[in-house]
Amino acid sequence: MEPTEGHGTNLRFAVITPSVSERSKYLAEAVASVHATVRAPLEFDVKHHVHVQQEHLSPGAARNALIRESSPEAWLVPLDDDDLLLQRTLHHYADLILHHPGRRWFVADFVRMDRDRRYLPGQDYAAWTFPSSLAMLTSIFRAEHFLQGNVCFHRSLFDEVGGYDETLGMAEDLDLYVRFLLGGHLPLRGAHLSHLHRVHPGNLSRGVDARRHHTDLVRLYQRHAPRMVALGVPPPAASTPDR
């Protein structure tokens, strides 16, 4: 069922942040960034779902556990424990939701900073606008486009595709977004920045270079190969050695 919020008063956001104890110095700043959210002139509820794991779960399992605590009517916003949400991010998502009531998935740009919160010039990430799910899937598997925490989607869409795959140790978020697209759900791009992505030695994605990303794409394609072939999405091209 499509969400039917009115003028903002019924909108609910659930920011999702699993963490582990050794990353507490970053987590405190992530939590503070969500608390700094500016709502005016719209009205909406925000709940930050945070859990510091005593035992390390897979990324998908950790996120699924927190999302199960959220309202069935919530709009989900993943935020890594070392990243910072911008003050107007949820306001901009709320504005998009209210102006596009038939859409259940939105994307935005983000920028990168170093471990000390200094801006890294030339490393911004710009989301694209695609004419169709097929075009976006093709771009993803050509390694031209990717998505991280620069998304907002409705809980009903998450439930529809079965949530994050808990067996994946990497690229579980991209797998979820691929399943959104396979279901015919194309995201709407917002003209705003969603968050500051912190680049530091403890990044969970550290070491994911072009070769590793290609390997992840091949595995994701193989997981969904029958549907990819039926849609006409070509497989990832052969990998070339890093230079």
Parallel, antiparallel, or unpaired: how do β-strands 45-53 and 84-85 relate? unpaired
Is the dihedral angle over the CA atoms 187, 189, 192, 198 positive or is it negative?
A: positive
CA distances in angstroms from 187 to 12, 70, 74, 103, 133, listed in the order given: 19, 21, 17, 8, 9
Angle at 163 between CA 179 and CA 216, to 5 degrees: 55
pLDDT of residue 9: 61
pLDDT-derived band at 238, boundaries 50, 70, 90: confident
For 120-143, write each residue's pLDDT tens digit: 999 898 999 999 999 999 999 998
pLDDT of residue 208: 44
Any idea which residue has 């797998």 for tokens? Answer: 175
Q: Name all domains of the chain by residue range, CATH numbers in brackets.
A: 12-231 (3.90.550.10)
Q: At residue 242, does pLDDT exceed 50? A: no
pLDDT of residue 207: 44
pLDDT of residue 57: 87
For 195-235, write each residue's pLDDT tens digit: 999 987 765 554 445 677 788 899 999 999 999 999 999 99
For 21-70, write each residue's pLDDT tens digit: 877 788 999 999 999 999 999 999 999 999 998 878 899 999 999 999 99
Q: At residue 175, does pLDDT exceed 80? A: yes
pLDDT of residue 73: 96
